[in-house]
Chain A
Amino acid sequence: MNTQRPETAAATVPANGWAIELEKINKRFGAVHANKDIDLKVARGTIHGIVGENGAGKSTLMSILYGFYTADSGVIRVNGQEHAITDSRHALALGIGMVHQHFMLVENFSVLENVILGAEDSGFIKPSLDRARKELNRLEHEYDLEVDPDAIIEDISVGQQQRVEILKALYRGAETLILDEPTGVLTPKEADDLFRVLETLREQGKTVILITHKLREIMAITDNVSVMRQGEMVATVKTSETSPEQLAELMVGRRVLLRVDKTPANPGATLLEVQNLVVADDMGHVRVKDVSFSIRAGEIVGIAGVSGNGQSELLESVSGMRDQKSGNVLLKGTALSLKGDDGAARAREAGLAHVPEDRQRMGLVTTFAEWENAILGYQGNAKYGAGPFLDISAAKKAAAEHIKLFDVRPANINLKSSLFSGGNQQKIVLAREMEQDPDVLVIGQPTRGVDIGAIEFIHNEIIKMRDEGKAILLVSVELDEIRSLADRILVMFDGVIVGEADPATATEGELGLMMAGIGKDAPRGLGIAEQGPLP
């Protein structure tokens, strides 16, 4: 709390006036003060970033602006006029549009149909569609947002779907666009494209509010940035006058190491070998196509790639959760028998631990007490009971140990798992898997939805495992994470490993192109993808 507050930027009225002014916004949920006296002024025609950890109050604030919540007190001014925004329809009428993190599109409708959905002119669709087509053409042209109006949503890429969301907002006359974590699902190239669109919007006089936790994006695209922490607006600064380090410190309230400190790898014998693996998804489509690689003791191999290119299936197959069509997974030279729906048990017995991509769906039973989750996957282990019986006190003892070692908060083994925050849930899973002392650790998305403080801790634990001589397979859609943790990077695209890179020398641009399935010599993207390797 004692960090110095930087000078609040832009106190004077900007040239184009304020698009949005929030004054002394308060929102309490019982004893929790989710928004405390928040002041926020967004200048018209700018891109304004809002950063903060999970639970800092960003979403609450934007929900108030978009009419999901009503503030307990405070004033909202849109274009200088005071309004009490009652619902999102009202917000839209005032020209405030929102692009949600999870798209609100009807998958089997066309782009055009999605755009008019809920904004039809009359009971008959045809005239609305015709009018919308014209309007959409104009918008696409004006903002450089090309999408085929007749394409079906499920057939177009995630980046394009996001454009449809933006078009939806513009079609409804949005002057101010709120984007909530817009790049989470995009490739670096797509993110670049998005930023170009945002720049065009800014040129055309639109205002953009960008909620993100990626500081680099804030630095690359925004004009001003506001930092929230524990329900308070900690600072609003000009982006040109700040640095990622300063923003991180403001967010967390203490100094944070943004880069991982690690010594060069010292790889030993090969522990995990994947040979010609072919894996299909639930629908029977082949998602992993003849993938081979190996990982040695004391080495972290990172799989980079845009989500949905077979990484999930690869992880699930190696860890025994998903049957493979062909190929082998060898642990210390012995092929694992992963057939059947209890393959995960045999993988664990052989010494392969798995931190799954989706802790809520796989890694935890969220309705269970914390201690019950501390043995998930190891419930058959003799440590937790002889014969058919479960030794509850042994399980509870293990849980208490995990909580202590990984600093899980609150330190309550009887608390229902769903009541822990994302970071603490992840620590529960990591503690369980790491404390079994496996030879191979397979980790998916170790820090998804985890706040900065916990990220640092989790990264250090992973490095510690490596230094203890474990082989670690790391899959993450966060390129930064892969680059800072991995000793070798494999890039996956469309089920194939399209290339290998050395994190010390590969640039984000090169990796980004590989992730998009384009060779190294294809034309470069703009913006953030141009930045060089991490030091």
Chain B
Amino acid sequence: MSARRPIPRWADIALLPAINLLLAFLVSGLVVLLVGENPFHAIQVIIYGAFGYGEGLGYTLYYATNFIFTGLAVAVAAQAGLFNIGGDGQAYVAGLGAVVVALALDQTHWLIAMPLAVIAAGAVGGFWAFVPGWLQAKRGSHVVITTIMFNFIAAALMVYMVNRVLKPASTMAPESETIEVAGRVPQLRQFFSFFGYSPVNLSIVIAVLALIGVYILVWHTKFGYAMRVLGANPTASRYAGISNSKMIMITMTISGALAGMVAINEVMGVQNRLVLDFVAGAGFVGIAVALMGRNHPIGILLAALLFGALYQGGQELQFVIPGITREMIVVIQALVILFTGAMEGLFRPSLERAFMLFSPEQKADAIAVSTAKSES
């Protein structure tokens, strides 16, 4: 019954995640302390490893590229009230589109291969999300369930495709033929030697374009408006003459296409061939990224960078401090996800109360509203 008012937007977007992150690091620090290492040294290593030198930064950006795509995929669906957990599977099957186009065009030029591969990967990833969307819209099967199931179908399908269809007879490894240089996405290190041997590539440009594109789509188009109406209140969207079923199908397709961009980064930019399980859980990190980034492109950019830094800094950590194992890094990543994703609302009530204390006018407003509500 206590009166509350939403905290200001800046606090919601910046302060709250910062507090959550701080807490995650605090608990991680305790974990590091428990294994007998110095947490301050550890954090120093992580930060240096992620941002301190060119190659480290390159790796951070490479990871972040994937997380931007999967984060946007989750965010776009979330704007329409859909929870797309299938980013992993969508990105995985999108690899088919990417590798087929890249292999077909790897005698031409990347300027031809890349745009067409983007379209193909987007189409395949989009299709992999469209089917759950269609099932939701027409049959009422919940996308949370169907997208999870589609992750498993994707995994099985890809094992089949790689081993039985794409694998050249000459190799034993479960992977496709290697894409020739002309069909690969250029590495940033080709332009800036600063990035050392890191795999960050031009896909990051697509990621930045996707961030801008999603922003425009959601807040500056009629489609985005309809999407947000549907996400906020499906009855109101029906009232507004918006076809909920069409919106669900289209939105899921866009979401899947965004997830599919991971394939461009991985298949054409890093591995230069289709390997098994190249997505490596990026789809699930995308959920945390979208949650932490409040489904907003700017938030997603920052959250993707954070997770990229954690991935890269974590790798560095296990090299520099042998006492901290790979599993420990996963624990730290999990803690960040836990505090910034799953428990992101932990401090919201106290923060709301704190803001009330500092700004009495707001408090008055809030009470007026809450009492007006309880009357009637």
Contact = CB atoms under 8 A, between A and B. Distances in A.
A-B interaction:
yes
Interface stretch (A36-44, A118-126, A339-347): A339-347
A377 B229 CA distance: 10
Contact of A390 (B222, B233, B376): B222
A343 B241 contact: yes
Nearest to B1: A68
Contacts of A342: 241-243, 246
A365 B236 CA distance: 7
Interface string A343-354: 111111000001
A30 B2 CA distance: 11
21 contacts: A29-B371, A31-B363, A55-B371, A55-B372, A57-B371, A60-B375, A343-B241, A344-B239, A345-B242, A354-B239, A361-B233, A362-B235, A367-B232, A367-B233, A375-B225, A376-B239, A380-B222, A380-B241, A388-B222, A422-B376, A449-B376
Interface in B98-130: none
A69 interface: yes
A31 B241 contact: no
B66 interface: no
B241 A390 contact: no
Given A389-B221, A390-B224, A320 B241 contact: yes
Contacts of B239: 319, 321, 344, 354, 356, 362-363, 376-377
B372 A54 contact: yes
Contact of A389 (B3, B220, B361): B220
Interface string A377-388: 101100011001
A152 B226 CA distance: 42
Contacts of B220: 389-390, 392
Interface in A254-269: none
A270 interface: no
B30 interface: no
Interface of B: 1, 3, 6, 220-226, 228-229, 232-233, 235-236, 238-246, 356, 360-361, 363-372, 374-376
Interface of A: 29-32, 34, 54-60, 63, 68-69, 181, 319-321, 340-348, 354, 356, 361-368, 372, 375-377, 379-380, 384-385, 388-390, 392, 416, 418-419, 421-422, 449
Given A34-B367, A344-B239, A367-B232, 12 more contacts: A29-B3, A30-B363, A30-B366, A32-B364, A32-B367, A60-B374, A341-B238, A345-B240, A366-B233, A379-B226, A388-B223, A392-B220
B221 A361 contact: no
A125 B363 CA distance: 46
Given A388-B221, A388-B222, A449-B376, A362 B367 contact: no
A341 B244 contact: yes
A345 B241 contact: yes
A54 B375 contact: yes
Contact of B371 (A34, A364, A380, A418): A34
Contacts of B225: 372, 375, 379, 390
Given A30-B364, A389-B221, A376 B236 contact: yes
Given A341-B238, A362-B235, A390-B220, A419 B371 contact: no
A416 to B, nearest CB: 8
A63 B374 CA distance: 10
Cβ-closest 7 pairs across A and B: A345-B241, A31-B364, A29-B367, A344-B241, A342-B243, A30-B363, A377-B240
B240 A379 contact: yes
Contacts of A377: 239-241
A187 B184 CA distance: 74
A451 B371 CA distance: 14
A362 B229 CA distance: 11
A445 to B, nearest CB: 13
A420 to B, nearest CB: 9
Contacts of A372: 225
Contacts of A29: 3, 367, 370-371
B229 A365 contact: yes
B371 A379 contact: no
B240 A376 contact: yes
Contacts of A59: 371, 374-376
Q: Which of A55, A365, A368 has the most CB of B within 10 A?
A: A365
A367 B228 CA distance: 10
Given A59-B374, A59-B375, A376-B236, A30 B369 contact: no
Contacts of A389: 220-222
Q: Which of A69, A379, A421 has the most CB of B within 10 A?
A: A379
B221 A31 contact: no
A337 to B, nearest CB: 13
B222 A58 contact: no
B232 A368 contact: yes
Contacts of A30: 3, 356, 360, 363-364, 366-367
Contact of A363 (B222, B232, B236, B244): B236
Contacts of A361: 233, 235-236
B240 A55 contact: no
A42 to B, nearest CB: 20
B371 A60 contact: yes
Contacts of A367: 232-233
B366 to A, nearest CB: 8
A368 B237 CA distance: 13
B236 A419 contact: no
A418 B5 CA distance: 11
A9 to B, nearest CB: 25
